[in-house]
Amino acid sequence: MNSLDCVNVVVLGDRGSGKTSLVTCLIRGPSQTKVPPRVPPVLLKGEQVQTKIIDTSSKPVDQQQVDKEIVQAHFICIVYDMNLAGSQKVSGIVNWIRRVENLVTGLPLALVGTKSDLRKEKSDLEQEMKTIMSQYDQVEYVMECSALDPNSKKELEHLFNLAQHTVLYPRMPLCDTKLNFRPRFVSVLKRIFQIVDSDKDGFLDVGELKSLQCSCFSEELEESYVLEIMETIKRFNPKGVSSKGLNETGFLSLFHLIMQRGRTETIWTLLRYYGYDNSLKISTNFLNPHFHVPQGHVLELSSQGTRWLREIFLQYGRANSEQVLTWHQIDKMFSVVPDGEGHPWQTYCFPRCCATSATARTVDDASTTTTSSTYSYDSTSTVDIGMHSVEEDPVTLKGFIAMWNLTTLLDPSTAIRYMYYLGYQGKRDRTDCFTVTKERSTFFVYVIGPPGSGKSSLIRAFLGKDFKLEDDVENNKRSFVGVNAFEIEGQDKTYHLVLNEPPQSLILPLLSSADYADKMNMAQLVILVYDPCDPKGFLKLTEMFNMLDKKYRHVPCILASTKADHPNSLKHMSPKTFCEKHGLREPIRISAKNKTGLERLFTLAIETIKEKKQRKPRPSLLEQGWFGTISITVVVCFALFKYYNSSLLMLEMFPHRWFFPSRTSTGTLTNSSVSSNSSNSNSDDSTLSVPLHKLFASLLTQIQQFLPSTR
pLDDT per residue as tens digits for the range 53-105: 999 999 999 999 999 999 999 999 999 988 887 778 889 999 999 999 999 99
In the predicted model, what is the mean pLDDT of residues 144-153? 84
**Is residue 619 very low, low, confident or very high in pLDDT (cuts 50, 70, 90)?**
low
* Window from 9-13, 119-123, 294-298, 602-606 with minimum mean pLDDT: 119-123
The H or E element that residue 436 is part of is: strand 434-437
Burial class (CB in 10 A: 0-12, 13-18, 19+), 21: buried
Q: Does the structure show a pLDDT above 90 at 477?
A: no
CA distances 581 to 334, 534, 570, 618, 619, Å, are: 52, 21, 17, 5, 8
Helix (H, G, I), strand (E, B) or coil at 388: strand
- Amino acid letter, 119: R
Residue 216 to residue 239: CA distance in whole angstroms: 26
Q: Per the omega criterion (within 30 degrees of 0), is the bond before 351 cis?
A: yes
Other Cβ atoms within 10 Å of 680 Cβ, number:
14
pLDDT for position 580: 87
pLDDT at residue 658, as a whole number: 45
Do domains 6-168 and 287-437 share one topology? The answer is no
Query: What are the pLDDT digits (tens) for 287-318?
Result: 888 888 999 899 999 999 999 999 999 998 87
Task: Please give the CATH architecture assigned to the domain spanning 287-437.
Answer: Orthogonal Bundle (1.10)
Give the pLDDT confidence score for residue 372 in this predicted structure. 36
Q: Is the pLDDT of residue 669 over 50?
A: no
Closest CA to 399 of 427, 360, 369: 360
For the ranges 23-27, 284-288, 335-339, 644-648, the lowest mean pLDDT is seen at: 644-648
Query: Per-residue pLDDT for 660 more than 50?
Result: no
Position with higher pLDDT, 569 vs 538 = 538
The pLDDT of residue 683 is above 50: no
pLDDT digits (tens, 9 = 90+) for 187-228: 999 999 999 999 999 999 999 999 999 999 888 889 999 999
Which long-range contacts does 543-546 make (Cβ < 8 Å, 24+ apart)? Answer: 544/448, 544/449, 544/450, 544/507, 544/508, 544/511, 545/582
Q: What is the DSSP string of 632-667?
A: HHHHHHHHHHHHHHHHHHHHHH-TTS----EE-TTS
User: What sign for the dihedral angle of Cα 290, 296, 299, 304?
Assistant: negative
Q: Which residues of 122-159 are buried (b: 16+ CB within 10 A; e: fewer)?
A: eeebeebbeebbeebbbbbbbbbbbbeeeebbebbeeb
Distance CA 512, CA 546 (A): 10
CATH of 183-281, one of 2.60.40.10, 1.10.238.10, 2.40.50.140, 3.40.630.30: 1.10.238.10
Average of per-residue pLDDT across 159-171: 94
* Average pLDDT, integer, range 559-580: 77
522 and 500 Cβ atoms separated by less than 8 Å: no
Is pLDDT above 80 for 268?
A: yes
Return the pLDDT at 699: 59
Taking only the tens place, the pLDDT of each residue in 504-524 is: 889 999 999 899 999 999 999
Instruction: Output the CA angle 677-679-685, nearest 5 degrees.
Output: 105
Query: Nearest CA to 162 among 294, 44, 59?
Result: 44
pLDDT of the residue at 79: 94
Residue-level pLDDT at 381: 31
CATH superfamily membership of 6-168: P-loop containing nucleotide triphosphate hydrolases (3.40.50.300)
Give the start-to-end residue ranges of the domains of the chain.
Answer: 6-168, 183-281, 287-437, 442-611, 623-704
Q: What is the reported pLDDT for 632?
A: 65
Q: Are 409 and 293 in contact (CB under 8 A)?
A: no
- 389 has a pLDDT exceeding 70: no
Where residue 173 falls among pLDDT bands split at 50, 70, 90?
very high
pLDDT tens digits, one per residue of 24-41: 988 888 776 778 888 999
What is residue 678's predicted lDDT score, i.e. its pLDDT?
A: 43
Average per-residue pLDDT for the chain: 82
pLDDT confidence tier of residue 667, bands split at 50, 70 and 90: very low
Region 668-675 average pLDDT: 44
Give percent of the chain with pLDDT exceeding 70.
76
pLDDT, tens digit (0-9, with 9 covering 90-100), for 432-475? 999 999 999 999 999 999 998 999 999 999 998 887 655 544 45
Q: Does domain 442-611 have CATH number 3.40.50.300?
A: yes
pLDDT in tens, 14-27: 998 889 999 998 88
Q: What is the pLDDT of residue 257?
A: 96
Give residues with Cβ within 8 angstroms of 302, minimum separation 6. 432, 433, 434, 435
What pLDDT is recorded for position 76? 97
pTM of the model: 0.77
**Position with higher pLDDT, 392 vs 654:** 392
Give the confidence band of 339 by pLDDT, cuts at 50, 70, 90: confident
User: 565 or 354: which carries more pLDDT confidence?
Assistant: 354
Q: How is residue 181 annotated by DSSP?
A: B
Report, as an integer, the average pLDDT of 634-643: 62
